């Protein structure tokens, strides 16, 4: 009897230690790998190939982590963008979430979507579906606390912020975001060499939208900078293994200069990596600060004013190869699990 009481006490102590440890971790970072992540992805698929790796990494996370992808919206107007996303899911035997098209006419950069649809889709599956604003508003209504990850220009997110009450929700966009969005992670901004900056690509495509989101978003804004993503190459192992045999590898093979360079910078995969809380061992945050986007698209940091903005950095530069290998390995594991 005494022995069983002692065992029961030990179990209780162990449960307490475990729950206390988890509690501590929850307070250490703003992302939490242990809790379900309700994710909304806004992507300019077609422009750069790292959007495809981001999609594949999310699909891997849906299968292997506590990630619930609520919606995908396109921030490019590429004719085959939505079809390429649907084809990517179809090829994997997975059901895509609801997908929204760009809220306004945007550039139609397409380095691989048409070829992916022609090779892996049975027909051109381009449809108008819903507009991004409706899809985003609906996804927020259906979420408890969503994380938005935007890896293209911020046109859709800005329009969401400005949206008015409608049949989906009686709340305007800003109030809806305040209630239903935990954070936004944006691939945006160049911050090094503040005197000689050029605008970051995503920012430059819709400067007004970037300013609106950065200035008015009612939840913490996390920046994956040009510099962070530019220093971490991925895709070589995927290309070596699959060449043109799956949509992700095909996107890398087709993107100009990627074969010769042995990969592509990882702006978008790193954004998702932070958004889903998979990164707390490897990424760290700046102090709370303010990012300002000038009218010419250049981005500046003000460390003195606190505006719920944070810039993401590597904890240690020496672990970049490890992260790169991890991204490639996740994609390879995803396609191996396809059977
Ligand atoms: Ca992108």
The residue among 219, 238, 253, 96 whose CA lies nearest residue 150 is 219
Comparing 67 with 16, which gets the higher pLDDT? 67
Q: Which two tokens stand for residue 129?
A: 């579906």
Each residue of 107-152: pLDDT tens digit? 999 999 999 999 998 766 666 668 999 999 999 999 999 999 999 9
CA 168 to ligand 1 centroid distance, Å: 28
Looking up tokens 């809220």, which residue turns up? 103
CA 319 to ligand 1 centroid distance, Å: 23
CA 187 to ligand 1 centroid distance, Å: 8
Within its chain, how far is the Cα of 166 from the centroid?
A: 27
- Segment among 2-16, 35-49, 146-160, 163-177 with least mean pLDDT: 2-16
- Segment among 115-129, 181-195, 310-324 with least mean pLDDT: 115-129
CATH class for the region spanning 40-196+203-337: alpha beta
pLDDT at 26 over 70: no
CA 268 to ligand 1 centroid distance, Å: 6
* CB-CB contact of 299 with 190 (8 Å): yes
The residue among 100, 9, 111 whose CA lies nearest residue 52 is 111
The 3 state secondary structure assigned to the chain is CHHHHHHHHHHHHHHHHHHHHHHHHHHHCCCCCCCCEEEEEEECCCCCCHHHHHHHHHHHHHHHCCEEEEEEEECCCCCCHHHHHHHHHHHHCCCCCEEEECCCCCCCCCCCHHHHHHHHCCCCCCCCCEEHHHHHHHHHHCCCCEEEEECCCCHHHHHHHHCCCCCCCCCCHHHHHHHHEEEEEEECCCCCCCCCCCCCHHHHHCHHHHHHHHHHCCCCEEEECHHHHHCCEECHHHHHHHCCCCHHHHHHHHCCCHHHHCCEECHHHHHHHHHCCCCCCCEEECCCEEEEECCCCCEEEECCCCCCEEEEEECCHHHHHHHHHHHHHHHHHHHHHCC
CA 137 to ligand 1 centroid distance, Å: 21
CA 48 to ligand 1 centroid distance, Å: 6
CA 50 to ligand 1 centroid distance, Å: 6
Nearest 10 degrees: Cα torsion 103, 150, 185, 271: 180
- 156 by Cβ neighbours in 10 Å (0-12 / 13-18 / 19+) ranks as buried
CA 13 to ligand 1 centroid distance, Å: 47
CA 316 to ligand 1 centroid distance, Å: 25
What is the domain partition of the chain in residue ranges? Answer: 40-196+203-337
Per-residue confidence band for 228, with pLDDT thresholds at 50, 70 and 90: very high
CA 202 to ligand 1 centroid distance, Å: 8
CA 7 to ligand 1 centroid distance, Å: 54
pLDDT at 30 over 60: no
CA 20 to ligand 1 centroid distance, Å: 39
CA 46 to ligand 1 centroid distance, Å: 8
CA 317 to ligand 1 centroid distance, Å: 23
Q: Which two tokens stand for residue 296?
A: 């010419």
Per-residue confidence band for 280, with pLDDT thresholds at 50, 70 and 90: confident
CA 151 to ligand 1 centroid distance, Å: 4
Full-model pTM: 0.89
φ, ψ of residue 289 to 5 degrees: the values are -150, -170
* CB-CB contact of 226 with 190 (8 Å): yes
Looking up tokens 């971790």, which residue turns up? 25
**CA distances from residue 175 to 20, 139, 164, 169, 261 in whole angstroms, order as listed:** 34, 15, 10, 10, 45
CA 309 to ligand 1 centroid distance, Å: 21
CA 150 to ligand 1 centroid distance, Å: 8
């Amino acid at each position: 009897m005494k022995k069983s009481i002692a065992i029961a006490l030990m179990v209780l102590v162990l449960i307490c230690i475990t729950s206390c440890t988890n509690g501590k971790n929850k307070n250490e970072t703003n992302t939490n790998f242990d809790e379900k992540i309700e994710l909304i992805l806004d992507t300019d698929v077609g422009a750069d190939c790292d959007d495809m790796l981001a999609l594949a990494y999310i699909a891997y996370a849906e299968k292997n982590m506590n990630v619930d992808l609520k919606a995908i919206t396109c921030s490019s107007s590429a004719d085959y963008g939505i079809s390429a996303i649907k084809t990517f899911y179809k090829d994997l035997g997975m059901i895509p979430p609801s997908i929204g098209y760009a809220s306004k006419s945007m550039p139609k950069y397409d380095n691989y979507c048409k070829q992916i649809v022609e090779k892996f889709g049975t027909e051109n599956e381009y449809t108008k579906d819903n507009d991004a604003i409706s899809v985003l508003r609906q996804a927020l209504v259906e979420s408890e606390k969503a994380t938005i990850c935007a890896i293209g220009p911020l046109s859709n997110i800005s329009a969401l912020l400005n949206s008015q009450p409608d049949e989906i929700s009686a709340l305007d966009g800003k109030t809806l975001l305040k209630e239903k969005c935990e954070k936004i992670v944006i691939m945006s901004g160049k911050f090094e060499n503040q005197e000689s900056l050029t605008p970051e690509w995503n920012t430059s495509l819709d400067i007004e939208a970037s300013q609106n989101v950065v200035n008015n978003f009612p939840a913490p804004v996390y920046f994956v900078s040009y510099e962070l993503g530019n220093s971490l190459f991925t895709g070589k192992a995927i290309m070596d293994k699959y060449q043109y045999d799956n949509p992700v590898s095909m996107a890398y093979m087709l993107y100009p200069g990627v074969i010769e360079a042995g990969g592509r910078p990882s702006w978008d995969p790193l954004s998702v990596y932070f958004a889903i809380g998979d990164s707390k061992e490897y990424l760290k945050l700046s102090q709370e600060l303010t990012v300002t986007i000038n009218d010419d698209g250049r981005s500046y940091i003000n460390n003195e004013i606190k505006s719920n903005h944070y810039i993401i950095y590597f904890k240690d530069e020496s672990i970049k190869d490890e992260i790169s290998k991890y991204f490639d390995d996740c994609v390879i594991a995803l396609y191996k699990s396809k059977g």
